[in-house]
A and B are shown apart, each in its own frame.
Chain A
């Protein structure tokens, strides 16, 4: 895909001669650059789904292989296995899962949180730039709504966007009550105002932040609150490998693998809530990924097999500024807050080529165009563009110590002095735009099953705005937690089984799909562990 670029030494000379380079916007319509260069628009590496609720839809092959796979368990595995009961089971204790668990437990539900790794291990803890909420006087909920719908190419559900945007200010209050701090500035009359940054593709600065480790700040408070909540039980190293259903297809629990005792266990619950996150570790399109080790699409696979419908599964976000050099740090992210504050992108000729605060998909596609056309930069075999941090620092000398502290640490690890030398960056697989179809309360088409966070879809359309992911997970995490606790209030003990699998297996056979390809994947391709290896530990 990429042709060799301009040698790094020459590119740096060109950058230095022109820095700060004058503005230069795209010389062709953004839609044309997206069509020609954005991975979502390329047929290569995709296939058509043959079974399930989305049969007939396009999907990346690496994801389709997992969606159209057989279960890791059958009736023999669960026969005679002890069943634990709870009101609400939350699968995945990242930001959405913790928000759901806290909300459900505050409603009086008994909550069990199951983690594949540990509580808090998630993309949330890695989030840098911030969270969107319309708090400024010149901003409004309507404006946040319009910016979100527009950035998603009008593909998102307007009802879901409205629900998320409406919750924004209340989510910030809830976080502050939980002890999450935010950057502030003094207003003209000395009042305390929330510091606001600019997200690409939006009409007003709306990003609220805690420096550039907002996700860490949020996650450590959420995790502590969950761990200390008397109504919540947390189990780590306990991935869910299948959902349990009754004869009506209602989701009634989950099959858990305890990686500490190497045993299969069953959990029966009145409400099952999937907050398993995204799919970046599938390396869609062979891109490097900024994602957490656990981002392997497990929740999509489980929900799809149980009959849930997905939306926009062919749409992914490529963050413009993952590190492209050195090779050991490829995929590590530089926050969009850097470009929001004024950092420029330049090619190997020292020229800008796109408005740096255009929507993420446009910036990424424009970068891929430079890379494809040989105007990018090459260093030790890695190809990327230059992020002009030195000019930003010259303009705002305190920015690396006050705001972009994570960027400064990453540059140090790369052996780059960010005050003197640009960083080499490239588009990096960052986010799953689509996911399981939900309503405003996180309910899926499968009775008894709720979803929230990155596993859910329909909010961001085909392109997400910076800062809307953290808002999404908390807004819908709380909504789904509330709805699940309410539903669990019935406390009806329903039968548990693998009833959905019979029809599923038949579908695979009818479509001529292999029965020996099993999922969820659980651990990424580089883990040296297959799902079958995990199950073998228990047999």
Chain B
């Protein structure tokens, strides 16, 4: 099948991914690449237009399969220059968690519900619903929407209000975990170790398995 990536015409074998086809055609690749097929690193963002399709979509080139007539263009990674800085302080007052969301992400309440983030997401998350839930104070549900997020930043690029939805989602996940996850077995074991009640004898005999 014939495809086109970054203006280069490529003959792709059946079943290959866009990245695989690009490499097999002999083109150099020093960026827009990472996990090579697992779809978890967000490096290989491409704009894709399929034959007969009017609208372009944003996808990951390491998992998208070549289709006859498909056109794709790599999207450069750009660091969002409107950072939303925060520091997860373990002594922070967790009763104020909802307030912190709009403190760190002041643009979030301005969401214009355009669905740009949902359309941009290459792993089909309900990004917009996550933003809305976060603003409403439904923090655990909002965090859950971002469980499979690969931090490709496409929703951040797409958002006209500069909300940085994926960074908001990650903030929610990180904050709720750091403020609330206290497994009892872990607490007990740390207590034992820190009081010197559990040590390691490096000279103890260890037998090779049979």
Chain A interface residues (CB < 8 Å from chain B): 29-30, 117-118, 120-121, 125-126, 134-137, 140-142, 145-146, 149-150, 153-154, 158-159, 161-162, 165-166, 169-170, 172-173, 176-182, 184, 187, 191-194, 201, 213, 215-216, 220-221, 223-225, 227-228, 236-237, 259, 292-294, 326-329, 331-333, 359, 405-406, 409, 413, 523, 526-529, 533-534
Bound form: Cα–Cα A136–B182 in Å: 14
* Pair B208/A150 contact, Cβ less than 8 Å: yes
* Pair A136/B185 contact, Cβ less than 8 Å: yes
Residue B85 at the chain A interface, CB threshold 8 Å: yes
Interface flags for B137-150 (1: CB within 8 Å of A; 0: not) read 00000000000111
The listed residue (A140, A327, A529) touching B28 by CB distance below 8 A is: A529
Contacts of A359 in B (CB 8 A): 209
* Pair B200/A166 contact, Cβ less than 8 Å: yes
* Pair B28/A194 contact, Cβ less than 8 Å: no
Contacts of A136 in B (CB 8 A): 185
* Pair A176/B177 contact, Cβ less than 8 Å: yes
Bound form: Cα–Cα A533–B31 in Å: 14
A173-B190, A223-B151, A523-B30 are known contacts. Are A29 and B20 too (CB-CB below 8 A)?
no
Can you name 5 extra interface pairs (CB under 8 A) apart from A194-B186, A328-B15?
A121-B34, A142-B200, A145-B204, A180-B177, A328-B65
Among listed B1-9, B37-45, B108-116, interface-contacting one: B37-45
28 A-B residue pairings within 8 Å (CB atoms): A120-B41, A125-B40, A135-B185, A140-B198, A149-B206, A150-B208, A162-B202, A166-B193, A169-B186, A169-B193, A172-B186, A176-B178, A177-B88, A178-B88, A179-B88, A179-B174, A179-B175, A191-B184, A192-B181, A220-B170, A221-B174, A224-B151, A228-B86, A237-B30, A292-B41, A328-B17, A406-B38, A529-B29
* Pair B30/A259 contact, Cβ less than 8 Å: yes
* Pair A169/B170 contact, Cβ less than 8 Å: no
* Pair A150/B178 contact, Cβ less than 8 Å: no
* Pair B170/A224 contact, Cβ less than 8 Å: yes
Chain B interface residues (CB < 8 Å from chain A): 15-17, 20, 23, 26-31, 33-41, 43, 63, 65, 77, 83, 85-88, 90, 148-151, 167, 170, 173-175, 177-178, 181-186, 188-190, 193, 198-204, 206-210
Contacts of B185 in A (CB 8 A): 135-137, 191, 193-194
A141-B198, A154-B206, A162-B200 are known contacts. Are A221 and B170 too (CB-CB below 8 A)?
yes
Bound form: Cα–Cα A136–B183 in Å: 11
Contacts of B17 in A (CB 8 A): 328
The listed residue (B29, B33, B151, B189) touching A135 by CB distance below 8 A is: B189
Q: How far does the Cβ of A281 sit from chain B's closest Cβ, in whole Å? A: 9
Question: Chain B residue with minimal CB distance to A146?
Answer: B206
Bound form: Cα–Cα A409–B20 in Å: 19
Question: Chain A residue with minimal CB distance to B44?
Answer: A293
* Pair A178/B204 contact, Cβ less than 8 Å: no
Bound form: Cα–Cα A292–B189 in Å: 34
* Pair B20/A328 contact, Cβ less than 8 Å: yes
* Pair A117/B28 contact, Cβ less than 8 Å: no
Bound form: Cα–Cα A165–B204 in Å: 15
Bound form: Cα–Cα A328–B62 in Å: 10
The listed residue (B38, B86, B198) touching A126 by CB distance below 8 A is: B38
Q: How far does the Cβ of A200 sit from chain B's closest Cβ, in whole Å? A: 11
Bound form: Cα–Cα A191–B188 in Å: 12
Bound form: Cα–Cα A142–B203 in Å: 11
8 tightest Cβ-Cβ pairs between the two chains A and B:
A179-B174, A191-B184, A181-B177, A328-B15, A121-B34, A158-B202, A529-B28, A162-B200
Q: How far does the Cβ of B76 sit from chain A's closest Cβ, in whole Å? A: 10
Contacts of A149 in B (CB 8 A): 206
* Pair B204/A146 contact, Cβ less than 8 Å: yes
* Pair A141/B200 contact, Cβ less than 8 Å: yes
Question: Chain A residue with minimal CB distance to B178?
Answer: A179
Contacts of A181 in B (CB 8 A): 173, 177, 181
* Pair B34/A292 contact, Cβ less than 8 Å: yes
The listed residue (A173, A192, A213, A527) touching B23 by CB distance below 8 A is: A527
Q: How far does the Cβ of B154 sit from chain A's closest Cβ, in whole Å? A: 15
Contacts of B16 in A (CB 8 A): 328
* Pair B40/A126 contact, Cβ less than 8 Å: yes
Contacts of B23 in A (CB 8 A): 526-528
Contacts of B28 in A (CB 8 A): 527-529, 533
* Pair B200/A179 contact, Cβ less than 8 Å: no
Bound form: Cα–Cα A236–B43 in Å: 12
Question: Chain B residue with minimal CB distance to A331?
Answer: B37
A118-B77, A177-B90, A179-B175 are known contacts. Are A125 and B35 too (CB-CB below 8 A)?
yes
Q: Which of B16, B186, B190 has the most CB of A within 10 A?
A: B186
A331-B37, A529-B29 are known contacts. Are A179 and B173 too (CB-CB below 8 A)?
yes
* Pair A145/B177 contact, Cβ less than 8 Å: no
Question: Chain A residue with minimal CB distance to B29?
Answer: A527
* Pair A237/B31 contact, Cβ less than 8 Å: yes
A194-B185, A326-B15, A528-B23 are known contacts. Are A150 and B174 too (CB-CB below 8 A)?
no
